[in-house]
Chains A and B, each alone.
Chain A
């Protein structure tokens, strides 16, 4: 791993250049179009870089070196590669200069294989994680770093993050209670969103009494009750059976239509991505960056069998295939 690391870096960067050259014209045009459409996107992930250190070594000697965290990344790499024997500490890039603009009301899906950094990207947007470099602009303004997290971007997780000590209604109410919203106002909001996800009959139910699909419905209601500008969804339907998932797709499309919220939806499922998104962003685990994006101008609800969607799916698969070949060559 140690010896390979610098070579791999070089190869990745040269590959990035090649891609940039070949499609730069098209990209530029697209970017211009976007900028003229909306000068300040609601979210702008600006040149975000993120890496994680893995320290799965018994004696952990590198991490014990004084100021390890403070020295530059280049020095760290050198340190790692110079040190011999049983060292297994290494730095793993997850996001390498990601730049993404999202307009208000857009439904964007991000698709990529596991480990391509899509959850990390979402965490950074949610404010649950910080980028190593780069920034997140909300309506053109940089996020306040001191603030723990902003409640205008609410995350819905893959696993149920509902609180088992609260019932459905109390779960949906949670964020409002934290925000010290008045009781009668709280009740109003909670009722509205529980009804929106079709769970009015179950507002007194306890979390363990709900099915997986119902749990995610509550999670959606809980997020909506915060009345955020952006919904962030991290593979929210990945652990559901296909029937329930399709049902929830329809409901999510309905919610998007009625509330007009901006939705950022991360998935590893190509079908889901093309069925829901106005734009499908391909995140590559080789580039550690956005590889390509597809604009889908088909009105929702979409027919998953339609030839247009099939064509896009095929193109997306091709992108993944080329990724795989590069990974193999390495």
Chain B
């Protein structure tokens, strides 16, 4: 211990001479990192990469159909699927399907966030409840959402509410656990500092806990959204209500219409991708760049 103290004394004695030559301005200039090298949102090379990838994919698909390993009715070429998509669009069934599905998704997800968020916060507030509930919620998180369907059919019936029930069950536990975890993992130093500055109760929660937990909260929402999306399509296929993408998929199977099936599959893929990129990724990027978490990626 003495050694350390002595050594530090020496260090400081030496430093005094050096310090007089350094100025405040020098410190500022050398340390402020302004990232002017920010990328544009739509990079031309990105577009080219996507186009190339799509071309290769469609080309391979075309090639496989030309080999005629399977009959054309079982594995239709890309052109036929394209026709199927345009037919579905002109007959309005695709648009109605998308609208119905998205409505269910948004409603179910909103319920999940509201319920999961409130329960998650209650779990933080009441420790005993939090401990018990988190093991219970983890159990239900790994529970396959499709296994809820028979229960929902018998309890609620073949209607929108039955589907919503399955969607909520699939995503609410993910929201719950991520809210619980995100808030509990807020660095204690932020809480101590803000308490010292007079924040407590709701102000502490609103101005410190929530913003500090935001990066992991967004991650949790993203996961919950994908759970909800998986469950929704499954539920729509099994709980028939004469509308929705899952329903069109099920109809395609009934009529052995492979091109319709593939057309709907592509639609589902596109919607999933669009939502993730347009909402969650954008949100996450915004938060990450504000917090300076993107530094190591460069």
Q: Which residue of A lies closest to B16 (CB)?
A: A304
Alpha-carbon distance between A175 and B214 when the two chains are bound, in angstroms? 21
| Stretch of B52-60, B78-86, B187-195, B266-274 with 4 or more beta carbons under 8 angstroms from chain A | B187-195
A198 on interface, CB distance cutoff 8 Å: yes
| Stretch of B38-46, B64-72, B204-212 with 4 or more beta carbons under 8 angstroms from chain A | B204-212
Alpha-carbon distance between A38 and B283 when the two chains are bound, in angstroms? 57
A71 on interface, CB distance cutoff 8 Å: no
Which B residues touch A157, using CB under 8 A?
A: 189, 192-193
In B276-290, the 8 Å CB interface with A consists of 287, 290
Which A residues touch B139, using CB under 8 A?
A: none
Which A residues touch B290, using CB under 8 A?
A: 164-165, 206
Which B residues touch A271, using CB under 8 A?
A: 8-9, 12-13
A107 on interface, CB distance cutoff 8 Å: no
A85 on interface, CB distance cutoff 8 Å: no
**Are A246 and B19 also in contact (CB < 8 A) when A161-B189, A165-B290, A269-B8 are?**
yes
In B1-45, the 8 Å CB interface with A consists of 1-2, 5-6, 8-9, 11-16, 18-19, 22, 24, 27-28, 30-34
Chain A nearest CB, measured from B112 CB (Å): 25
Q: Which residue of A lies closest to B203 (CB)?
A: A178
**Are A149 and B214 also in contact (CB < 8 A) when A247-B24, A304-B12 are?**
no
The answer to whether B194 and A174 have CB atoms under 8 Å apart is yes
The answer to whether B9 and A206 have CB atoms under 8 Å apart is no
Which B residues touch A164, using CB under 8 A?
A: 290-292
| Max chain B C-beta neighbours (<10 A), residue from A128, A165, A320 | A165
**Are A313 and B195 also in contact (CB < 8 A) when A177-B207, A209-B292 are?**
no
| Max chain B C-beta neighbours (<10 A), residue from A149, A155, A244, A268 | A149
**Are A243 and B195 also in contact (CB < 8 A) when A113-B5, A148-B200, A209-B292 are?**
no
Alpha-carbon distance between A30 and B203 when the two chains are bound, in angstroms? 45
The answer to whether B16 and A127 have CB atoms under 8 Å apart is no
The answer to whether B19 and A247 have CB atoms under 8 Å apart is yes
B198 on interface, CB distance cutoff 8 Å: yes
The answer to whether A165 and B15 have CB atoms under 8 Å apart is no
In A215-241, the 8 Å CB interface with B consists of 222, 226
Alpha-carbon distance between A243 and B23 when the two chains are bound, in angstroms? 9
Alpha-carbon distance between A126 and B208 when the two chains are bound, in angstroms? 19
The answer to whether A206 and B192 have CB atoms under 8 Å apart is no
Chain A nearest CB, measured from B23 CB (Å): 8
A90 on interface, CB distance cutoff 8 Å: no
Chain B nearest CB, measured from A213 CB (Å): 6
The answer to whether A320 and B1 have CB atoms under 8 Å apart is yes
Q: Which residue of B lies closest to A153 (CB)?
A: B196
The answer to whether B212 and A165 have CB atoms under 8 Å apart is yes
Alpha-carbon distance between A165 and B208 when the two chains are bound, in angstroms? 9
The answer to whether A208 and B19 have CB atoms under 8 Å apart is no
B50 on interface, CB distance cutoff 8 Å: no
Which A residues touch B287, using CB under 8 A?
A: 165
**Are A178 and B194 also in contact (CB < 8 A) when A313-B9, A321-B2 are?**
yes
The answer to whether B32 and A205 have CB atoms under 8 Å apart is yes
Which B residues touch A304, using CB under 8 A?
A: 12-13, 16
In B197-239, the 8 Å CB interface with A consists of 197-200, 203, 207-208, 211-212, 214
A35 on interface, CB distance cutoff 8 Å: no
The answer to whether A270 and B190 have CB atoms under 8 Å apart is no
Alpha-carbon distance between A321 and B6 when the two chains are bound, in angstroms? 11
Residue in A151, A198, A208 whose beta carbon sits within 8 Å of that of B291 in the complex: A208
In A231-281, the 8 Å CB interface with B consists of 242-247, 268-272
B91 on interface, CB distance cutoff 8 Å: no
B132 on interface, CB distance cutoff 8 Å: no
Which B residues touch A268, using CB under 8 A?
A: 5, 8
A154 on interface, CB distance cutoff 8 Å: yes
A9 on interface, CB distance cutoff 8 Å: no
A297 on interface, CB distance cutoff 8 Å: no
A19 on interface, CB distance cutoff 8 Å: no
The answer to whether A246 and B292 have CB atoms under 8 Å apart is no
B127 on interface, CB distance cutoff 8 Å: no
| Max chain B C-beta neighbours (<10 A), residue from A151, A208, A245 | A208
In B83-129, the 8 Å CB interface with A consists of none
Alpha-carbon distance between A321 and B2 when the two chains are bound, in angstroms? 6
The answer to whether B198 and A214 have CB atoms under 8 Å apart is no
Q: Which residue of B lies closest to A225 (CB)?
A: B197
Q: Which residue of B lies closest to A226 (CB)?
A: B197
Residue in B9, B27, B195 whose beta carbon sits within 8 Å of that of A244 in the complex: B27
Alpha-carbon distance between A99 and B193 when the two chains are bound, in angstroms? 25
Which A residues touch B200, using CB under 8 A?
A: 148-149
Which A residues touch B198, using CB under 8 A?
A: 148-149, 151, 175, 178-179, 226
Q: Mark B230-256, 1 if CB is under 8 A from A, else 0.
A: 000000000000000000000000000
B49 on interface, CB distance cutoff 8 Å: no
A100 on interface, CB distance cutoff 8 Å: no
Residue in B27, B214, B292 whose beta carbon sits within 8 Å of that of A206 in the complex: B292
B142 on interface, CB distance cutoff 8 Å: no
Which A residues touch B195, using CB under 8 A?
A: 128, 148-149
Which B residues touch A27, using CB under 8 A?
A: none
CB-defined A-B contacts under 8 Å, sample of 7: A126-B196, A155-B192, A159-B189, A164-B291, A201-B28, A245-B15, A271-B9
Given contacts A165-B290, A198-B24, A214-B32, 16 further A-B contacts (CB under 8 A): A113-B1, A148-B200, A159-B189, A164-B291, A165-B211, A178-B197, A178-B207, A206-B292, A211-B31, A214-B28, A214-B31, A242-B11, A242-B15, A245-B15, A317-B6, A324-B2
